[in-house]
Structure 1
């Protein structure tokens, strides 16, 4: 995963869990500790939650 996330543009993709990298443009909603993309529910790990939400707020200013 480290190799993959390193090749993706950081302003468009985030690793939100050990097993998940998400495209910001495809996120439908954020609910507590989860992201929804279509019908998929993707967990946001506790260790990545603060960083992800801080970055998310910056992207949506």
Structure 2
């Protein structure tokens, strides 16, 4: 699963819409859509806030597995 797919799954698991997440992050809803479609990626600063808002670890969203 790609990062954009993981982001969408995490958002839905958190029970928030793209619009709600955009408001919490102070970005446009279209940004969330672009991240989930894989046409853009969030900045590292926004990514950190995404992890916090979605209660997901960076490792989880990036697909990093411990050995």
| Fold in common (TM above 0.5) | no
The structure whose RCO (Cα within 8 Å, separation 6+) is larger is 2
Question: Whose helix proportion is higher, 1 or 2?
Answer: 2
Q: What's the TM-score, normalizing by structure 2?
A: 0.31
Q: What's the TM-score, normalizing by structure 1?
A: 0.33
